[in-house]
A and B are shown apart, each in its own frame.
Chain A
């Protein structure tokens, strides 16, 4: 094959474009199949209860950790707490070490599956910055009419990180 003359410039360009398109096609196929399985929707407890989502789908639920609801156990390393958006509360069960910014009365996002009315979280996110809610939690609270811009965040902190 090494005896074949060099391809002309135009052919080479066409070949490169065809190659590029083929790659894009493969990438697009990968992207679409991956999206099918891995996009995780966010719900407030109210929406999640209304939607009747099966235990086979991973979802996120967010709201405030209800004051006084955090209990440890009974299982080893297990924590249970209630997430509320003001209208609906939902029980969340999590095994693991909670993030440093997890606190009662503050915003939280739990990721996991809904099994029989309780939420089995495999990840609990209290995002890094303490000065504001995770935006999705703030929106969920607003939607339920329970948003108090000053009452929900720690009042003693100014701007910045």
Chain B
């Protein structure tokens, strides 16, 4: 009964979405305020209806209603509560429903918090948002309904892929979708602006919080996914350049570029049509990702079902959305007025460089991701493009980006002085050289590691220099510096934290890539395992009973008495095995132990890694997310407020504009 209500709610949502897509546009065209105003309540009702449907599915999972095909094939009565809940989106239909829920959530948020938007822009934005909603609601209702019944209902369900029975899965998809689908808002704003034929700094100011929110959550979502892969798959890797990972990384790259180019539109009125294009591209990448992940063209933990019909449906939606918006862009963008002028060496120039590099990086990732699919379609040959390709293309593009990132925030708007900016960065240059040389000397490290650490040091010290410059540290009295520091806008701290986060992340990535050690052995109880100056004693394997699995627990003991336990879990319902690595995380390195197959004669395959600086990876991502949140907290004060800018915190000397 509740499931039928959910199904009905989806139909209501679809109907409302159709109206929301048409009526406001008509209203704007006729200048009818009543019809234009229809968009806001419609967006709220649409969200309410989808939330109801999602609630109905969640209910079915929590009470284990196996008369629903979806629940029967993806859940089991003995599953712990949290995984019954997470199971709602641990399957194709449910995860598409989550997708649409978040899409309508963003529509509702624009309706609820967009009070200061001009009526026309808001109505058009919500109408475009509803068009996307129509497409995906129709997809759910016609091609992937989560509410199909099965009769007779099975006694119990098939269970959930044990790999997905993990707290990482409970959090990763909703967070990732908030980011991924969040770019639908900037897409809708961009299409609305194209319809209106007008982009001004106010538009950029309205769009930036949405871009920032989506970016922040996408960053968190990707980091959670990466963390899950690191500890759950037991390979000790955190990024595999797997097509599915790339699918989420491309919107991130485009979104990062968008975040920065929107600053130029807001502050200087330049790069308008480029920013619009980026907004279209960012969401197009999200749609492409949805297609790649959901259609089953890729083999992965995300490809829940291989169903060509569904793939086709998403492909058609993708073509309409991308093709339509790009045609509109080609038609309307040339008529948009250019904005403020700037010299190549200026804050704007630096942001343009950022955009060029990020877009190029996104393009190389796109090519590497799609090439195998294209080649197979054309010639039937099967290839894979792996880590070596991405490392050879992506990393060289990131090097100039990080170099420029140190300088960019120190350049003035319009016309910057590169020599002066570099002059202020002598400490950063010294730090980079110092760290690079000491790494080279102490470790005899490979060139890549030397360059990587030097880059990270350069960036970190540059960020601190920029902050010190802003508060005029050592140039005015400490008291004045402190009051300046307290007076800086949160968005300035947001920027600094995010950039610092990147530096910390690079440290972690370089440390893990170049200094990891690993050993694989057949070990008996009592065997000592030496790795990278550490000694572990293998204490053998015991049995343990989990809530819905049995596990073999391999214990490793450090000289300090600290114990690491790696499990091999067997899930009888699903008939599958998973490995839980034992990880001891410390700032200097992770010790990572995996219990493998039995190897006969009381021996077990064990694999031990020492992975330096992995914590820094997560820490760096955390700082980026924190930076995003902080900027967002600043923005909230003036979301949609195009009124006079607060002048109180504007820096005294002309070299520094506000960085947000």
Closest chain A residue to B91, Cβ basis: A160
Given known pairs A34-B393, A98-B597, the reply for A12 and B90 (CB within 8 Å) is no
Residues of A within 8 A of B138 (CB): none
Closest chain A residue to B305, Cβ basis: A159
CB distance from A126 to the nearest CB of B (A): 10
Are B383 and A40 in contact, with the CB atoms below 8 A? yes
**Chain-A contact segment, one of B384-392, B545-553, B637-645:** B384-392
Within the assembled complex, what's the spacing in Å between the Cα atoms of A135 and B234? Answer: 23
Question: Is B576 interfacial (CB 8 A cutoff)?
Answer: yes
Chain A interface bracket (under 10, 10 to 19, 20 to 34, 35 or more): 35 or more
Partner of B522, one of A19, A72, A130, A136: A72
Of the listed residues B163, B164, B594, B606, the one surrounded by the most CB atoms of chain A closer than 10 A to its CB is B163
Within the assembled complex, what's the spacing in Å between the Cα atoms of A100 and B568? Answer: 9
Interface string of B284-321 (1 = CB under 8 A from A): 00000000000000011101111000000000000000
Are A73 and B599 in contact, with the CB atoms below 8 A? yes
Give residues 55-102 of A contacting B (CB, 8 Å): 60, 72-73, 76-77, 79, 95-101
Residues of A within 8 A of B164 (CB): 161
Question: Is A16 interfacial (CB 8 A cutoff)?
Answer: yes
Partner of B578, one of A6, A76, A100, A135: A100
Partner of B383, one of A6, A12, A42: A42
Within the assembled complex, what's the spacing in Å between the Cα atoms of A60 and B594? Answer: 25
Interface string of A109-148 (1 = CB under 8 A from B): 0010000000000000001111010111001000000000
Partner of A76, one of B73, B303, B520: B520
Within the assembled complex, what's the spacing in Å between the Cα atoms of A157 and B575? Answer: 9
Residues of B within 8 A of A128 (CB): 161, 163, 299-301
Residues of B within 8 A of A39 (CB): 371, 383-385, 389
Are A30 and B397 in contact, with the CB atoms below 8 A? yes
Are B161 and A130 in contact, with the CB atoms below 8 A? yes
Residues of B within 8 A of A14 (CB): none
Within the assembled complex, what's the spacing in Å between the Cα atoms of A81 and B304? Answer: 29
Are B393 and A31 in contact, with the CB atoms below 8 A? yes
Chain B interface bracket (under 10, 10 to 19, 20 to 34, 35 or more): 35 or more
Are A158 and B73 in contact, with the CB atoms below 8 A? yes
Are B357 and A23 in contact, with the CB atoms below 8 A? yes
Residues of A within 8 A of B300 (CB): 127-129
Residues of B within 8 A of A38 (CB): 385-389, 392
Within the assembled complex, what's the spacing in Å between the Cα atoms of A7 and B550? Answer: 71
Give residues 593-648 of B contacting A (CB, 8 Å): 594, 596-597, 599-600, 605-607
**What does DSSP make chain B's interface, helix, strand, loop or mixed?**
mixed
Partner of A37, one of B91, B341, B388, B417: B388
Give residues 150-203 of B contacting A (CB, 8 Å): 158, 160-161, 163-164
Partner of A42, one of B305, B384, B389, B521: B384
Question: Is B563 interfacial (CB 8 A cutoff)?
Answer: no
Partner of B304, one of A97, A99, A127, A160: A160
Of the listed residues A100, A134, A161, the one surrounded by the most CB atoms of chain B closer than 10 A to its CB is A161
Question: Is B367 interfacial (CB 8 A cutoff)?
Answer: yes
Within the assembled complex, what's the spacing in Å between the Cα atoms of A27 and B362? Answer: 10
CB distance from A76 to the nearest CB of B (A): 5
Question: Is B558 interfacial (CB 8 A cutoff)?
Answer: no
Residues of A within 8 A of B594 (CB): 97
Interface string of B502-538 (1 = CB under 8 A from A): 0000000000000000011110000000000000000
Residues of A within 8 A of B74 (CB): 160-161
Residues of A within 8 A of B356 (CB): 19-20, 23
Are A16 and B352 in contact, with the CB atoms below 8 A? yes
Give residues 579-605 of B contacting A (CB, 8 Å): 579, 594, 596-597, 599-600, 605
Closest chain A residue to B417, Cβ basis: A2
Within the assembled complex, what's the spacing in Å between the Cα atoms of A88 and B301? Answer: 30
Partner of B299, one of A60, A95, A135: A135
Residues of A within 8 A of B577 (CB): 100-101
Partner of B384, one of A60, A96, A98, A130: A60
List the 7 closest A-B pairs by CB distance, nearest first.
A77-B520, A128-B301, A97-B596, A38-B388, A42-B382, A34-B392, A160-B73
Known: A23-B360, A27-B363, A129-B300; 8 extra A-B contacts, CB below 8 A, are: A13-B338, A24-B363, A34-B388, A38-B388, A41-B382, A97-B606, A160-B73, A161-B74
Contacts from A to B (Cβ < 8 Å)? 2, 6-7, 9, 12-13, 15-16, 19-20, 23-24, 26-27, 30-31, 33-35, 37-42, 60, 72-73, 76-77, 79, 95-101, 111, 127-130, 132, 134-136, 139, 154, 156-161
